[in-house]
Amino acid sequence: MKKGRILRALLWIVLATGIAVAIAYRGRFDVAALEGWIRGAGAGAPLLFIAVYALGTVLFLPGSALTLAGGALFGPVLGTFYNLTGATLGATLAFLLARYLGAAWVERKAGARLQRLNRGVEAEGWRFVAFVRLVPLFPFNLLNYALGLTRIRLGTYVLASYLFMLPGALAYTYLGYAGREALTGGAGLVRKALLALALLALVAFLPRLIGRLRKRPMLAVDDLRRRLAAGEEILVLDVRTGADYAGEGGHIPGARNLPLEELPQRITELGEFTETPIAVVCRTDKRSARAERLLTGQGFADVHVVDGGMTAWARAGLAVVRGAADGEGERGGRAHAGAAGRSDRIETGRGGRHV
């Protein structure tokens, strides 16, 4: 047992050193030299390329450069297959290394993002893996390691990764192929260039499409109350009109008011919260769902719709504030336990519970 621990520690030291060196010298990564080396491998070039791609994924080398090289070397069809196979193999190796060897290192690197991944996997399983593969909310190489610390099964992770990395692999492979054709003066250059641009546009549009089809990440009012009471950092964003926010129905203590109609123009005001959990609330949850799609599409990483909205909050007898408090509303920020301000401004439903 002791020898096994020593072996694992040595293996992780070697890997960590390799990653550090790769990151330090990634700016000197010479794709042209790599292409020449692989071309010289003859019949073994595909296997060599797949191995290099897998190792590069583990060592945090830029995947986009490798994918472009695959397209230039092998064309759009075989290039896509080899790129996707290498990327999936590397992602699987990183996943296993994190799960069985380097949990502490990955936790330090991933930070608060690991909690969001855990919540996403718990709530959606393979669908969440598919979503983060299609929507680049997390750096690709780090994501492979971080998912190893979630409860997702290895087989599910591998299959979802392979299938849902396909659109991006196809687009960048074809771009690499079109670039090679441009340099060599191949036939049909304009058509190939237009197709490459169309594929890139499709990949850029996919996150918005998936965001619409994806099941909304819902947050129950009791869970929100518990997280607020525990002092967790979370922004409660009320997207009702200012009149509704300050009206008879009241609002959640500490909530920030930003009406849905104004959100597209004022979304930059939330720039400091891109990595912060956000709970979006309205009267029920329809406007909140629209706000969640908008925020997620703009790169906010951890956005949830409060299930049932203020209607469910009031029905549960939880504390509300009537009127706009000093420092709340448009100037408000993170909600937390005790964020309601002066006690004479708090109204409670049945049970008189507070956040």
| Active site residues per annotation | 282
Enclosing H/E stretch for 218: strand 218-219
In this structure, are strands 278-281 and 320-321 parallel, antiparallel, or unpaired?
Answer: unpaired
Residues 314 and 348: their CA atoms lie apart, in Å, by: 8
Coil vs helix vs strand at 280: strand
Could you count the other beta carbons within 10 Å of the beta carbon of residue 286? 12
Nearest C-alpha neighbor of 235 from the set 125, 332, 105: 332
310, burial (CB in 10 Å: exposed 0-12, middle 13-18, buried 19+) = buried
| Contact assessment for residue 29 and residue 62, using Cβ atoms and an 8 Å cutoff | yes
Residues 295 and 48: their CA atoms lie apart, in Å, by: 42
Residues 56 and 132: their CA atoms lie apart, in Å, by: 20
Nearest C-alpha neighbor of 195 from the set 214, 211, 182, 210: 182
Residues 81 and 344: their CA atoms lie apart, in Å, by: 65
| Contact assessment for residue 133 and residue 165, using Cβ atoms and an 8 Å cutoff | yes
